Amino acid sequence: MNKSLLTSFLLFLSAGSYAQGTLSGDIQTNVNFFIKDTSIKACCNELYEHYLTGSETWVSLRYNVSGWTFNVRGDVFNNSNLYSPQKALSGYGLGAYSVSKEMGDLTVSLGYLYEQIGSGILFRSYEDRGLLIDNALVGASLKYKVNDHINVKAFTGQQKTLFSTYKPIIRGFNAEGDFGKGSVHFSPGLGVLNRALDQASMDVIAGSINAMPDTAMRFNPKYNVFAATVYNTLTYKNFMWYVEGAVKSSEAIWNINDSLLVNKPGNVIYTTMSWGKKGIAINAAAKRTENFYMRVSPNDRLLNSGMLNWQPVVATIRPERLLSRYTPASQDRSEAAGSVNVVVSPNDKLNVIGAYTHIDRLDGQKLFREGYLEGNYTGLDKWIIQLGLQYMEYNQKVYQVSFPEGMPMIYAFTPFTEVTYRLSDSKSMRFEVQYMDTKQDYGSWTFLLAEFNVAPKFSISVSDMYNNNPNYKNVNVTKANHYYSVYGAFTKGPHRLSLAYVKQVDGINCSGGVCRYEPAFSGVKATFSTNF
């Protein structure tokens, strides 16, 4: 199938001289050089001991002609650490391909498809190369514009995993509207999803159930799970409200301790509100999740494998290095989360941000707390000044699974500042200072960064993340380690090249709202990207 579709794609390109088509694409290459450093635990696996280098490359092509759209992407992994940070992955092939045709109000697509229903709570197939997430739906979709206010789509297929697909079948339907009158505008939507297990997956589930010592807890698993969502965005003048509610039928899922299979239905309700006027803006979000485990099968429990959906993160993902270290990921088994952000701007030169986030399990177990305050001032010539502080409580036992014995909750207080000085219209200097005071995990940290920018072509920075007050008892470190980084990036037109020497402490890494735990890294990272 891969070879046939690729051959057809190339034949279509060769006919481009006879049609008014457009060809575009992009290339991205990442290269890692692994330099062993036992002092920070960047060692003791095949990447540091044997292979020493690893890389990933993606090459994508898109061709549009006469209502046809062709996409093809080649993936190459050579001792890559993206799939499993402690184990090398090698392989190459067609990572994605698709063809679609617009026929008036109808669009038909076939191949590797990226779709989403609502906010993604029910279904989202997407790609995040930084975390090697590519859960494309390999199948077909139909999209139809009923009229100027209503659009519908239907899809079916199997979910991608690297260069193959999972066996269960996924089917979905989505309808969305767009209506307004006067100052009122609303965009309702609904979606339904069905996942049918294959026989091999069912055999594993049945075996786990039959192995339960307590016969009273055994149940008959089902091949099919059904789920539905209803959502709406309402806007009225300077007010916006989004709300979504989703439910799923009973199926075999692992209980919250991942020890036994249970037969449970699931549900989610998620909402955001925002309001603003001159000088003030308020944003609030809330989410309640109960057993809304949406994966290709209950057998897929490793990190992000087999995920059918993406649950919005209520907590704000902070860009600051120390603040982002303890970012809470959404919980699909049990979560009650809420947050509020207030921005006050008394004048054009000053704005102040205050935020609070509160996350628990449904049984009341504490997961995450954040109190946050930030001020930004631009009233000095050529200077931009940011000052802030964060108080945080983070349940390491839940969010990172592996946690220091007896220390599941982290308490941290982190003041920070960022100062930017404009040397000219294109040149600037930026400085960051952060200090995290905590007695848990690794202990307290100091982070320093200096960056020089020549927009839009050049950037260079040096930083140090210093474990100034180590917690020797809980992380088994023998000294106060420095984690240095030197980074440089050069951009010319569509081409971008970056090179960095990095020492990275183990911990949570987040990208696009998806977080995962990564071990320590020591070495050199290079990235090249371009588009045409």
**497 has pLDDT over 80:** yes
- What total number of domains does the chain contain? 3
Are 126 and 273 in a shared domain? yes
Cβ neighbors of 246 (< 8 A, separation 6 or more) are 118, 121, 122, 227, 228, 229, 230, 267, 268, 269, 292
Q: Which residue has the higher pLDDT, 471 or 139?
A: 139
Token pair, residue 204, equals 């594993």
Residue 382: enclosing H or E segment and its boundaries?
none
Are 38 and 185 in a shared domain? no
DSSP category for residue 49: I
Q: For a pLDDT cut of 70, what percent of the chain falls above it?
A: 93
**525 has pLDDT over 70:** yes
- State the pLDDT at residue 17: 46
Are 450 and 409 in a shared domain? yes
**1 has pLDDT over 50:** no
**pLDDT digit string (tens) for 237-254?**
999 999 999 999 999 998
| Rounded CA Rg of the chain | 25
Are 125 and 255 in a shared domain? yes
Query: What is the average per-residue pLDDT within 209-219?
Result: 88
Residue 50 amino acid letter: H
3-state helix, strand, coil in the chain (%, to 5): 10, 60, 30
Query: What is the average per-residue pLDDT within 152-168?
Result: 94
Token pair, residue 19, equals 């049609």
CATH of the domain at 366: 2.40.160
Are 407 and 378 in a shared domain? yes
- State the pLDDT at residue 305: 82
Domain of residue 178 covers 104-280+291-302
Are 323 and 240 in a shared domain? no
Are 339 and 391 in a shared domain? yes
- State the pLDDT at residue 508: 76
Query: What is the average per-residue pLDDT within 471-495?
Result: 88
Quick check: is 307 in a domain? no
Confidence (pTM)? 0.89
Q: Of 252, 268, 302, which closes a domain?
A: 302
- Which residues of 11-132 form beta strands (DSSP E)? 22-34, 53-65, 68-84, 87-103, 106-113, 116-117, 123-124, 127-128
**pLDDT digit string (tens) for 381-426?**
899 999 999 999 999 888 886 555 566 799 999 999 999 999 998 9
Is residue 452 within 8 A of residue 490, CB to CB? The reply is no
Longest pairwise C-alpha distance within the chain:
75
Is residue 111 within 8 A of residue 98, CB to CB? The reply is yes
**pLDDT digit string (tens) for 268-318?**
999 999 999 999 999 999 999 999 999 999 888 777 788 999 989 999 988
Are 169 and 109 in a shared domain? yes
3-class secondary-structure state, position 323:
helix
Mean pLDDT of the chain: 90
pLDDT band at 511 (very low <50, low <70, confident <90, very high): low
Selection from 390, 281, 387 nearest residue 326 by Cα: 390
**pLDDT digit string (tens) for 64-83?**
998 899 999 999 999 999 88
Quick check: is 382 in a domain? yes
Quick check: is 512 in a domain? no
Query: What is the average per-residue pLDDT within 76-96?
Result: 90
Are 270 and 133 in a shared domain? yes
Are 137 and 28 in a shared domain? no
Exposure letters 461-480 (e unless 16+ CB within 10 A, then b): bebebbbeebbeebbebeee
Query: What is the average per-residue pLDDT within 357-386?
Result: 95
pLDDT band at 376 (very low <50, low <70, confident <90, very high): very high
Residue 94 and residue 61: Cα distance in Å, rounded? 12
pLDDT band at 186 (very low <50, low <70, confident <90, very high): very high
Are 442 and 467 in a shared domain? yes
Residue 510 and residue 194: Cα distance in Å, rounded? 29
pLDDT band at 19 (very low <50, low <70, confident <90, very high): low
Residue 52 and residue 36: Cα distance in Å, rounded? 9
Residue 3 phi, psi dihedral angles, 5° rounding: -65, -40
- State the pLDDT at residue 514: 59
Quick check: is 328 in a domain? yes
Quick check: is 515 in a domain? no
- State the pLDDT at residue 407: 65
Are 476 and 491 in a shared domain? no
**63 has pLDDT over 70:** yes
Query: What is the average per-residue pLDDT within 119-127?
Result: 94
Query: What is the average per-residue pLDDT within 442-463?
Result: 95
Quick check: is 493 in a domain? yes
Quick check: is 3 in a domain? yes
Quick check: is 499 in a domain? yes
Rounded to 10 degrees, the C-alpha dihedral 471/476/481/483 comes to -100
CA angle 476-478-479, nearest 5°?
Answer: 125
Q: Which residue has the higher pLDDT, 330 or 259?
A: 330
pLDDT band at 130 (very low <50, low <70, confident <90, very high): confident
- State the pLDDT at residue 260: 87
Give the total residue count for the chain. Answer: 532
Cβ neighbors of 266 (< 8 A, separation 6 or more) are 227, 247, 248, 253, 289, 290, 291, 292, 293, 294
